Amino acid sequence: MIKKVLPAILCATLCTSFNASADVYSDAVANPARSDKDKEVDTRRKPAQVMAFFEIKPGMKVLDVFAGGGYYSELLSYVVGKQGSVTLYNNEPWQKFVQQGVDNRLKDNRLPNVVLLVASPESLIERKEQYDAALFILGMHDIYYADVTNGWVAIDKAKFLNGIYQRLNKGAVFGVIDANAQAGANNEIIGEKLHRVDPQAMIKDITAAGFEFVGEADFLRRPTDDLTTSVFLPENRYNTDRSILKFRKP
């Protein structure tokens, strides 16, 4: 059973800490520079609540892990502002798949505080940059399997997660969201076929890298999701039962 963080007393603490800057999240979502395509999924993705829960603040340096086309990278760039920065990070297979989307998002220097990084997951541990927070949204299931036929090579998940740990400053939040699989699911199979993951496996692997598990939020839970179908089915697109897990570097 994943422990809850938001209810009761702790919810009051979080609400108090975020109320003073709550507008920065809603302002980011309402930014007129955002595309209609991004705005269409806001209701299902709830980005303002996600960024608040993961404690993203102006001036931060944020690592957006397996950022894909950069939906969150753009939102994060508005929240951290001119004094902060966002690294839109993809490995090479991901980048090849989303290249056009990333190019469109970053063209003409429209997000001047966003830097693109394309590197192998295992190489993060060797880099020198330090970040105040990292988000890994809808991508952690991809570290449990290999699909060589389609260009997705096996990832050393322990080294990858340790690399993220090394890149974060002390006290930094590592926020993870992914679509839930059934408890005890074989993540090597489910990750590839359904693009889901058992949340308990994520907690086990991330804490093994040194992170402290702080808890979870439940505003992306979907009780009607049976956890056994692909996230890419039209009816599942951003409508799956998703875990929102918060970790912290001690």
Per-residue pLDDT at 107 exceeds 90:
yes
- Phi/psi at 14 (5° precision): -65, -45
Q: Which residue reads 């897990």 in tokens? A: 245
Whole-number Cα distances in Å, 175 to 18, 40, 166, 188, 189: 16, 23, 15, 22, 24
Which structure tokens are listed for 30? Answer: 């309402």
Position 184 confidence tier, pLDDT thresholds 50, 70, 90: very high
Looking up tokens 């996230």 gives 231
Outline where DSSP puts E strands in the chain: 61-65, 85-90, 114-118, 131-137, 168-179, 212-217, 242-248
Using the 8-state DSSP alphabet, how is residue 177 labeled? E
User: Taking a C-beta distance cutoff of 8 angstroms, is the pair 210, 249 a contact?
Assistant: yes
Which residues make Cβ contacts (< 8 Å) with residue 209, sequence separation at least 6?
158, 161, 162, 164, 165
| pLDDT of residue 19 exceeding 50 | no
Q: What's the whole-number mean pLDDT along residues 64-85?
A: 98
Q: Report the share of the chain in percent with pLDDT over 70.
A: 92
Tokens of 107: 């063209």
Question: Cβ distance 160 to 143 under 8 Å?
Answer: yes
- Per-residue confidence (pLDDT) for residue 38, from 0 to 100: 98
Q: Phi/psi at 56 (nearest 5 deg)?
A: -75, 130
238 and 45 in contact (C-beta within 8 Å)? yes
Q: Which of 248, 243, 246 lies closest to 5, judged by CA?
A: 246
Confidence bin at 22 (pLDDT 50/70/90): confident
Retrieve residue 25's tokens: 């999240």
Contacts of 91 (CB under 8 A, 6+ apart): 66, 118, 119, 120, 121, 155
Question: Predicted confidence band at 3 (pLDDT cuts at 50, 70, 90)?
Answer: very low
| Identity of the amino acid at 49 | Q
Q: Span 8-248: which CATH code?
A: 3.40.50.150
